[in-house]
Structure 1
Amino acid sequence: MANRRSSVHDGPANPDSALEDMGYKSELPRSLSMMSILGLSFAIMAVPFGLSTTMAISLTDGQSVTVLYGWVFVSIISLCIAASLAEICAVFPTAGGVYYWSAMLSTKEYAPIVSWVDGWLGLVGNWTVTLSINFSGAQLILSAISLWNEDFAASQWQTVLMFWAVMAVAFSVNVFGAKYLDLINKICIYWTGASVIIIIVTVLVMSDDRRNAEFVFTHFDASASGWPSGWAWFVGLLQAAYTLTGYGMVASMCEEVQMPEREVPKAMVLSVAAAGITGIVYLIPILFVLPDVTLLLSVANGQPIDSYWIAGGGFALLFLILGILFFAGVGALTAASRCTYAFARDGAIPGSTLWARVDKRFDIPLWGLVLSTVVDSILGCIYFGSTSAFNAFTGVATICLSVSYGIPILVSLIRGREAVKYSSFSLGKFGFFINVCTIVWISLAIILFCMPTAIPVTPVSMNYASVVFMGFASISLIWYIISGRKNFTGPPVPVDHYAGQDGQVIGEGVGRTITGDKSSSNGSSEEKIAPPAK
């Protein structure tokens, strides 16, 4: 089990030296601040955009009570998950994120398989979050055409082409605007805050018919879902859970931040708290001016609230929300590319040598960015087979990221939370309770987000999240059988991670064999690192 000496805080103050102690060479410039990481996390969650594009789910499964109290409930749970991850991140701040943490928290015997499973879940989660953000953005852009042509309904090929265009913009900004990412992420905070205020003021002023407080705070109607009332409320939580998902993705940016053990955990938790408050401020006015729900749910593009307030506020509101889309799409692709890079450098993805390269012209993992963009662009073609593909993307993203967050938390719990005992972001005596709450919720979420929004189910309305999830799981399993079980040994382990109590024998790490003499009082040693086993 990890002991106190395995903590990054006992290593050099220089973050690059600390990273080397964890087994990696620093290849990316440390140009991002805590505010930038907070902005990136806030951008990925994209509260007004995420809540608007998934509003049909909660309107179908309970209306006001599901929309408002579902958001509050999921915000509290997400804060618990973010705090649990932040506690671990403060001890192991690497771009590998949950994948690396799972290995460090596991025993030497199980570290490779646990990190393999968690790594693939995190990777697929990163890809599908990016996919769902940019896909819904494409749908929103096309729905805005109704400002000028009320009868317009985008075809499948128009939607996919627009999605590819949105992906191309996000890719281009990540490549050619890489040195401006710190500024872009900071601007996102102010843009989103200003957009929320402008949107709610506009819709309140322009609305001629307002709901009463009873409707906003107590109205519940799940008749459109076909589910029993209680279960419908839980199914409707996908709206909030999808929006409040991406905060853990920013762990992949640890190697681009000075003092990541302090700044990244802080940004994770603050971004979730800010998103939770922003969501409440945004949702309550929207519910007060909500038109007839039946009419909203009949909107052809499947995004009723977007069509409503775009029509009410015109191009100005559309411009604001497209700005949020821009920050969300760029930020999600940034995090996904870093996740791809980190997982590839330990040989876990076919063609890893290429995907793990850092392009010296742009100082980014360019090929990891290319792979993330291409995979998402291909997955977008699922829309040709099913117009409910967006629900599958949101469901898979939420499931994969939630489970990838839960694995290191569960392993830490099983092992008595010893590894995080000396974390600089310690949850203290509340840690055990907070960790348990997160595991219970994630276990329930796996079931919930495979459910269709409404029953009876048709081929069109079916939730294909489980199908997409199993597809990726099959690829991961096949690649593990072909290559992983022979060559994959997990990420490298800090020098003294498996040291005995007497400090004499350091032992065999997960990814390499490390030997040395730890007998000196100051903990210094001469170490010999053998190459990873093949």
Structure 2
Amino acid sequence: MTIFRNGSLGEGPATYVLPDGDVPYNPTHSLDPDEEALAALGYKSEFKREFSLFTTFCVSFAVLGLLPSFASTLYYGMGYAGTAGMTWGWIVAMLGIQCVAMSMAELCSSMPTSGGLYYASAVLAPPGWGPFAAWLTGWSNWLAQVVNYGISAMILAAASISNPDYVPTDYQTFLLTVFIMILHAILSSMPTKWLAQFNSAGSTFNFVALIVVIILIPAGTDRSSRGLPRFAPSGEVWGTIYEGTSFPPGISVLMSFIGVIWTMSGYDSPFHLAEECSNANIASPRAIVLTSATGGIFGWFLQLVVAYTVVDIESVLDSDLGQPFAAYLMQCMSQKMTLAILALTIIAGFSMGQGCMIAASRVTFAYARDDCFPLSKYWKRVNQHTQTPVNAVWFNCAIGVLCLLLIFGGSLAIGALFSIGAIAAFVAFTIPIFIRVFFVGNRFRPGPWNLGRYSIPIGLLASAFVLLMVPILCFPSVTAPDLTVADMNWTCVVYGGPMFLVTIWWFVSAHKWFKGPKVNIEHMMLGREETVVIGHQGPSEDRKDGDSWSGEMRASEKITKS
């Protein structure tokens, strides 16, 4: 068996042999640093690396979709705590979110692979727990890829504004969303170079539209024509907590964080695009932090202009338009200005949905590559013509359409998708961070982009923030004795149900055949001093009980690593 060792990647004692004896070596092609890094992680390069820091950031910022995401989740941000939750509440939430993003970026620099968080969980978990950690992280991260039906609601709300006699139906929203998702799938099946160019244009428009709207709202507000001051008093904006829930004001503010968390949940995209990005172990983590920081700052500006110009929160939430952002605009803007802002938001939202489809397909591809899904052999195929995972794109599209059927279960059922997008993403983001902080500690070997001595404290803050928010995201807006079935927060069922079944599946069957990322080298992210066995991946019957995923191999050579 041909092998190569002691490559330039850290000059480390590793034998780069991939599953099934495949060796990423070609005498006619010398490996570049990105290919070496991926080989050291146990994979061979299958994509063209045509994403740069800027184009990766563009996809990530498009997935973030500040303007359309804010418009889609205004009901929660404004409805639970009012303007106080939108102003200083956003700042508090962003501190926790930024800690999560920076800790994730550090993992990305160390392990720049499409598997992302799933791969990191498997590597960092204690011996014997890697496959289970990867299983939970992977399924939670995949469930976070929610349906982008908010844009359809805005399109139909715009139609209602133009024709007050028109009232959108659930069936029309469903069909329009399916049509948009099919368009996203077609575009996401393009070659990598085209995807990079398309998303660069879309993200540029997204950013420009955001700036334009931030300027247009305070400039075009007509509150004064309604007998109100042009802007609400600061004391009222910052100090008044709208009683949108039955909980104490502090809990209501925390509950309003769902809008911030869902809006800011796209910064993991550079992790999943790492195998298509040049200089990935530096460019990808930078894109993660840049996305989170940029989104946090400009998102807060957008929150401020809305908080200072909203007229009546209750009428925004109860509007017949069925879209709170459209109802808000009609309160403080002319009809023409409202339609113009909605048009910008809809176009930006289309770009966001397409970016989400790209990121979701990379997640699916990475997990299917390790046989995480049923029929994985189909979803992990890379199209020979486009060099992109086209099958994974259309698989996600089909799953999204099925999830969209929740729209016929009422507003609470479809609204649970927002909570799922927040809680599932947060759980997936934090599992490897939690393991890295509490189980690996100083044995972690960071990549070129790292937090240095602040790594553990920031990871602790990230873990604490998520542990606080996960149960709060499951709270209903009312408490007993007023709580009814119609008022329940179904997040714990819609997210907890599938995760419970996935966990049962693990203990009943999956633990026998799912071994986590198919890596058969001792991972160098951990500084353990031990004798390790590396070589060709053996069959499942060679595995000894209690072995970690990195021990699933037949012995070909022993080395001592320190």
Residue 316 of structure 2 corresponds to: 296
Please give the alpha-carbon distance, in whole angstroms, between the structure 2 residues aligned to 1:112 and 1:518.
23
Q: CA deviation at 1:420?
A: 3.5
Residue 496 of structure 1 corresponds to: 522
| 2:403 counterpart of 1:379 | yes
- Is the 2:130–2:548 contact (alpha carbons within 8 Å) kept by the matching residues of 1? no
State the one-letter code of the partner of 1:501. E
Residue 43 of structure 1 corresponds to: 62
Please give the alpha-carbon distance, in whole angstroms, between the structure 2 residues aligned to 1:8 and 1:292.
60
1:13 and 1:149, CA in 2 relative to 1: closer, same or farther beyond 3 A? Answer: same
Please give the alpha-carbon distance, in whole angstroms, between the structure 1 residues aligned to 2:554 and 2:88.
52
Q: CA deviation at 1:202?
A: 2.2
Q: Does the residue aligned with 2:114 lie in a helix, a strand or coil?
A: coil
Residue 75 of structure 1 corresponds to: 94
State the one-letter code of the partner of 2:397. T
Q: CA deviation at 1:165?
A: 1.3
State the one-letter code of the partner of 2:107. I
Q: Does the residue aligned with 2:159 lie in a helix, a strand or coil?
A: helix
Please give the alpha-carbon distance, in whole angstroms, between the structure 2 residues aligned to 1:502 and 1:295.
65
Superposed, 1:421-500 pairs within 5 Å as: 421-455=445-479, 456-481=482-507, 483-493=509-519, 495-497=521-523
| 2:295 counterpart of 1:275 | yes
Q: CA deviation at 1:398?
A: 0.9
1:82 and 1:148, CA in 2 relative to 1: closer, same or farther beyond 3 A? Answer: same
Please give the alpha-carbon distance, in whole angstroms, between the structure 2 residues aligned to 1:188 and 1:379.
26
- Is the 1:337–1:369 contact (alpha carbons within 8 Å) kept by the matching residues of 2? yes
State the one-letter code of the partner of 1:259. N
Residue 553 of structure 2 corresponds to: 513
Please give the alpha-carbon distance, in whole angstroms, between the structure 1 residues aligned to 2:270 and 2:532.
37
Please give the alpha-carbon distance, in whole angstroms, between the structure 2 residues aligned to 1:294 and 1:6.
64
Residue 204 of structure 1 corresponds to: 218
Residue 34 of structure 1 corresponds to: 53
TM-score after normalising by structure 1? 0.90
Please give the alpha-carbon distance, in whole angstroms, between the structure 2 residues aligned to 1:8 and 1:460.
57
- Is the 1:22–1:492 contact (alpha carbons within 8 Å) kept by the matching residues of 2? no
Residue 246 of structure 2 corresponds to: 226
Residue 264 of structure 2 corresponds to: 244
1:219 and 1:347, CA in 2 relative to 1: closer, same or farther beyond 3 A? Answer: same
1:520 and 1:404, CA in 2 relative to 1: closer, same or farther beyond 3 A? Answer: closer
Further displaced range: 498-507 or 277-286: 498-507
Cα RMSD of the aligned pairs, angstroms, is 2.6
Residue 542 of structure 2 corresponds to: none
- Is the 2:114–2:275 contact (alpha carbons within 8 Å) kept by the matching residues of 1? yes
Residue 118 of structure 1 corresponds to: 137
Residue 107 of structure 1 corresponds to: 126
Please give the alpha-carbon distance, in whole angstroms, between the structure 1 residues aligned to 2:11 and 2:321.
54
- Is the 1:6–1:497 contact (alpha carbons within 8 Å) kept by the matching residues of 2? no
Q: 1:156 aligns with which of 148, 158, 170?
A: 170
Q: Name structure 1 gaps, 5 residues minimum.
A: 524-534
- Alpha-carbon deviations, 1:325-346, whole Å to 9, x = none? 1111001111111101111111
Residue 145 of structure 1 corresponds to: 159
Say how many residue pairs are matched.
Answer: 513
Further displaced range: 72-81 or 506-515: 506-515
TM-score after normalising by structure 2? 0.85
1:8 and 1:509, CA in 2 relative to 1: closer, same or farther beyond 3 A? Answer: farther
State the one-letter code of the partner of 2:513. N
| 2:369 counterpart of 1:345 | yes
State the one-letter code of the partner of 2:413. A
Residue 73 of structure 2 corresponds to: 54
State the one-letter code of the partner of 2:310. L
| 2:105 counterpart of 1:86 | yes
Q: Does the residue aligned with 2:441 lie in a helix, a strand or coil?
A: coil
- Is the 1:104–1:493 contact (alpha carbons within 8 Å) kept by the matching residues of 2? no
1:297 and 1:501, CA in 2 relative to 1: closer, same or farther beyond 3 A? Answer: closer
1:9 and 1:278, CA in 2 relative to 1: closer, same or farther beyond 3 A? Answer: farther
Residue 409 of structure 1 corresponds to: 433
1:304 and 1:502, CA in 2 relative to 1: closer, same or farther beyond 3 A? Answer: closer
The percent identity for this pair of structures is 25
Q: CA deviation at 1:447?
A: 0.6
Q: Does the residue aligned with 1:493 lie in a helix, a strand or coil?
A: coil
Q: CA deviation at 1:457?
A: 3.7
